[in-house]
Amino acid sequence: MTSVSTRLVRLLNMVPYFQANPRITYDEAAIDLGVTVDQLREDLTQLFLCGLPGYGPGDLIDFEMDGTTIEVTFSAGMDHPLRLTSPEATGILVALRALLEVPGMVDPAAARSAIAKIESAAGTASGQEGGVAAASDEPAPVESSAAAAVRSAVRDDHALSIDYYSASHDVLTTRVVDPIRVVLVGDHSYLEAWCRSAEGVRLFRFDRIVDARELEERSAPPEPAVAAGPDTSLFDGDPSLPSATLLIEPSASWMFDYYPLRVERELADGTCEATMTYASDAWMARFVLGFGSGVRVLEPQSLVERVREAAVAALKAYELGGAEVGG
């Protein structure tokens, strides 16, 4: 899989290239563009979905292809040099900087380079070279070795061995997976992959991949799993697992960044009601008690009673221990 920035540059240049080389063959174009014929066909399919607002027939880029040659029949304006207005450049910069904060989505060095180039062009046009130069010299964010290994394996279609922390089960497991794609759900990036041990598609959150090692063997997820598109069923809850409704105080709101919670509603005082699936009542009771008064169980009642009993037992043990020390 080609990096996003590299492919974007190629796509932006393809229409002018084909206009300058009408009726060029697939093999010749692939050599000139430095890609395989299969990748060229994939790029052309992508371009068929691009065009002018309206995005209907007559608005999208179009080609005439007779099986062996390619010719542009409608360029949708992409035959002109790309020129960004100030708002457009600002929007792209904001998006690129946001992607830099999400592990695994882009190559940090490539994104930083793109940011520097856009800033430089915008600064030159507005006469602000001094401020832009300082921004352009910013180093690329440091990418974790695990995130880099995952991104490389997705790009090169290699299998991965990962050490993964499961928050709902409170365990660290090692498994071999066949990467499919990197997806963004909410504020987090996930590796979607075929898990060989589970024999199914799973989503692995990047910040819970403790370690990752790219393997020499090719990634080989089942074709139906690849064709099915991103599987976000994790966020709908596993119907085979129990689900708890929690009342979360603002002081414990950081837990949304680390645990698979779904916000149901926000209250006027800043607290939130959220649901969370879990593997066992014993684990969930320990989990909730660890937050003290910051988290309270609303449902199910069986879990409410279990947490209450555990809290009472802990207080009795504390009082007994204090009495023994005092005696």
Amino acid making up residue 214 = E
How many CA atoms, within 13 angstroms, populate the side-chain half-sphere of residue 11?
A: 20
Q: For the residues 45-70, what does the mean pLDDT come to?
A: 75
> What was the pLDDT predicted at 321?
58
Task: Return the closest-CA partner of residue 9 out of 41, 45, 34, 37.
Answer: 34
> What was the pLDDT predicted at 231?
54
> What was the pLDDT predicted at 110?
73
Residue 220: which residues within 8 A CB-CB, separation 6 or more? 159, 178
- Whole-angstrom distance, CA of residue 24 vs CA of residue 283: 64
Instruction: Give the chain's count of helices (H) and strands (E).
Output: 10, 12
Judge whether residue 147 has pLDDT over 80.
yes
pLDDT: which is higher, 124 or 291: 291
Judge whether residue 169 has pLDDT over 70.
no
Judge whether residue 240 has pLDDT over 50.
yes
Task: Return the closest-CA partner of residue 143 out of 103, 96, 184, 176.
Answer: 103
Quick one: which H or E segment has residue 2?
none
Q: For the residues 302-310, what does the mean pLDDT come to?
A: 91
Judge whether residue 186 has pLDDT over 70.
no
Confidence class of residue 215 from pLDDT cuts 50, 70 and 90?
A: very high
> What was the pLDDT predicted at 68?
81
Confidence class of residue 117 from pLDDT cuts 50, 70 and 90?
A: confident
Confidence class of residue 128 from pLDDT cuts 50, 70 and 90?
A: very low
> What was the pLDDT predicted at 79?
66
Token pair, residue 114, equals: 């793109």
Judge whether residue 202 has pLDDT over 50.
yes
3-state secondary structure 270-297: CCEEEEEECCCHHHHHHHHHCCHHHEEE
Q: Can the peptide bond before residue 260 be classed as cis, meaning omega within 30 degrees of 0?
A: no
Confidence class of residue 132 from pLDDT cuts 50, 70 and 90?
A: very low
Judge whether residue 133 has pLDDT over 50.
no
Judge whether residue 326 has pLDDT over 90.
no
Q: For the residues 43-72, what does the mean pLDDT come to?
A: 76
Token pair, residue 125, equals: 């046009």
pLDDT tens per residue across span 254-300: 887 667 788 888 888 889 999 888 877 888 888 898 888 899 999 99
Confidence class of residue 178 from pLDDT cuts 50, 70 and 90?
A: very high
Confidence class of residue 80 from pLDDT cuts 50, 70 and 90?
A: low
Judge whether residue 158 has pLDDT over 90.
yes
Judge whether residue 104 has pLDDT over 50.
yes
Given 3-state DSSP classes, what are the helix, strand and coil percentages for the chain, each rounded to the nearest 5?
45, 25, 30
Confidence class of residue 211 from pLDDT cuts 50, 70 and 90?
A: very high
Token pair, residue 144, equals: 């974790």
Judge whether residue 176 has pLDDT over 80.
yes
Specify whether the CB–CB gap between 92 and 138 falls below 8 A: no
Token pair, residue 67, equals: 């099986």
Domains of the chain, first to last? 4-74 (1.10.10), 86-136 (no CATH), 145-234 (2.30.30), 243-323 (no CATH)
> What was the pLDDT predicted at 268?
87
Q: In what order do the strands lie in the sheet with 69-74?
A: 24-25, 69-74, 62-65
Judge whether residue 148 has pLDDT over 90.
no
